Each structure stands twice: as C-alpha cells, then as structure tokens.
Amino acid sequence: MNTQYSIEQLEVKANEIRQDIIKMLLAAGSGHSGGPLGMADIFTALYFRVLKHDPKNPSWEDRDRLILSNGHIAPVRYVAMAYAGYFPKTELSTFRQINSRIEGHPSYKRLPGVETSSGPLGEGLSEACGFAFAARLDGHQTDYHIWCLTSDGEHEEGMTWEAAMFAAKYRLNNLTVIIDRNNIQIDGNTEDIMPLEPLREKYESFGWHVIEMNGHDMREIISTLEEAKAVQEKPTCIIAHTIPGKGVSFMEQKYEWHGITPNREQAEQALRELRARA
C-alpha cells in the first residue's frame, strides 16, 4: 500500500487522526496524550505515503517493518492502522479495555501488522537493528526498509547507544530511526532531567547519516523520509522536531500532558479546536 494522497489530503487525514486519538483517550480514561498528538503527521505520512505495506496481507514478506520503541504513543499508531484498514475503526473505542486487541502498549501477538511488543523504553532500536541485520543475512537487505520510532527521553537509556554503535559498525543502510524530539518526558523537560544535546552531533560521531526535520510540515516529512530510504552507505537518523499535544492549545508544549488523558470537558474543547483547523 503506497497510495499517492496529496499533501492536502494527508494534512486532513492527520487532523482526523488527532480527533480519534482524543476520542480514544476519553473512552479509555487513561493513556498518553502529548506524544500521540505530536506524532500524528509523521504516522500519517508513513502509513499513507511512504511505508511499503499491505493491510490485507500484514505478514507480506517484503513489507517494510515499523518498530515502535516508545510504545506509550500507541494511540496514534492504532488510529493510523485502523484508517489504513488493518482492523475496523469501531474497535478504537475498546482501547485499554479488558480483552481488547489494542492494549495500552502494542502487542505483536494480539494485532496483525504490529512487529514487536513495546513498553520498556530503550529497547526498540536494538530490536530494529536485529531486524535490519537479519534482512542482510537472509539476502533481503534491499527488499524492505526498517523504520524505528523512538522518543527523545529514551535516549537516556544506555541500550539505545549500544544499538547505535552496532548499526554503524555493520552499516545498516536499510535502517532509519526517527526520534520524536518533543523535548519532554513525564517529569519535565529533557534538557533539565538529562540533557541530550548535542543530539545530532552524537549520532554523527557514532557514524550515522543525520537529517533534521519539522515533524509537522507534511511536505518536508515526506521528502525527508524518502531521502532516508535513498541513503546507501550508513544507517540514517531523523531528528523530528515536534510539538507535544499538537493541535490542542492547552496541551501543546506541556510536559504534564505526557501521560494523562482529557476529561469530557477538555476533550470537547480539544475536538472543537481540531475541527476548526479542518
């Protein structure tokens, strides 16, 4: 699936995805708000323009693999997958409910199209390196691409940097990591808790090709993702500058909205704001 939606159509779809994220969180009464809203544009670009995938055949051997390391932003992935046709949109209302397939953090055993279970932060890049290296060993390095979505906060985990060394050593050019650089984590600003800068220079010193992008400019997102696929000599790191809570005025840039959900009144206000942007 690689439907050529126009930039304008993708922007509309991202807005609709944000609205369904709010509805999901309200129905569940728990979950994360800031990150999912902030990553809606990137997930829209991936699922409806860039990823090589087939919702009708989620185990297709030549599909791109999308590894979600920061599993707490699962709502945005679930909504994008439902819109793409992996499961009925009506199932979104079961988020975090007993026996639901769409759990608080994704489980590959429960939902077709999910490559790995995620939750403990810092593990995703190591898993993605395994997928990318296995593709080389199996002779499929040019058949599909590995995309790894990570948070900036989880770069405080040592395992992430071990994986960065591994990917550079083996020149895993079929691997792209996208860092959600929204500058927040559950307890505050990343640069106050454990400074990450200079983040770009760190990845470059490890031997990666690094690109920075505006994570809310659809045209720039698509061109950057396509550029990453074309890099042949080394793995690629995309630092995506995003606004947590994007589209909802009282959530934007507020670390307090990292891990909480809106109440009914707040959800109604959020939906009014998002609809006004349509």
pLDDT (tens digit per residue) in 261-270: 999 999 999 9
- Identify any residues that bridge with 210 across adjacent strands, giving them in sequence order: 237
Q: Which tokens sit at 267?
A: 């959800």
Per-residue model confidence (pLDDT) at position 4 = 81
Query: Rounded to whole angstroms, how far apart are CA atoms 257 and 237?
Result: 26
Q: How does the average pLDDT of the chain come out, rounded?
A: 96
Q: Is residue 197 part of a domain?
A: yes
**């640069």: which residue's tokens?**
191
**Residue range 78-101, pLDDT digits in tens:** 999 999 999 999 999 999 999 999
Per-residue model confidence (pLDDT) at position 278 = 78
Q: Is residue 1 part of a domain?
A: no
> What CATH number has the domain bearing residue 117?
3.40.50.970
Q: Is residue 225 part of a domain?
A: yes
105 pLDDT higher than 70: yes
Question: How confident is the model over 141-166, as a mean pLDDT?
Answer: 96
Query: Rounded to whole angstroms, how far apart are CA atoms 184 and 15?
Result: 22
Q: Is residue 160 part of a domain?
A: yes
Per-residue model confidence (pLDDT) at position 1 = 57
**Residue range 177-195, pLDDT digits in tens:** 999 999 999 999 999 999 9
Q: Is residue 185 part of a domain?
A: yes
| Domain coverage including residue 63 | 7-277
Q: Is residue 200 part of a domain?
A: yes
Q: Is residue 2 part of a domain?
A: no
Confidence of residue 169 (pLDDT cuts 50, 70, 90): very high
Q: What is the pTM of this model?
A: 0.97
Confidence of residue 119 (pLDDT cuts 50, 70, 90): confident
Per-residue model confidence (pLDDT) at position 165 = 98
Encode burial over 166-182: b for 16+ CB neighbours within 10 A, e otherwise: bbbeeebbbbbbbbbbb
Q: What is the number of domains present in the chain? A: 1
Query: Rounded to whole angstroms, how far apart are CA atoms 143 and 125?
Result: 20
Q: Is residue 176 part of a domain?
A: yes
Pairing mode, strands 175-181 and 184-185: unpaired
Please name the amino acid found at residue 117. S
Which of 124, 202, 117, 199 shows the shortest CA–CA distance to 163?
A: 124
Query: Rounded to whole angstroms, how far apart are CA atoms 267 and 261?
Result: 9
- Identify any residues that bridge with 189 across adjacent strands, giving them in sequence order: 184
**Residue range 194-210, pLDDT digits in tens:** 999 999 999 999 999 99
Please name the amino acid found at residue 269. Q
237 pLDDT higher than 70: yes
Question: How confident is the model over 28-33, as a mean pLDDT?
Answer: 96
Q: Exposure of 238 by Cβ count < 10 A (0-12 exposed, 13-18 middle, 19+ buried)?
A: buried
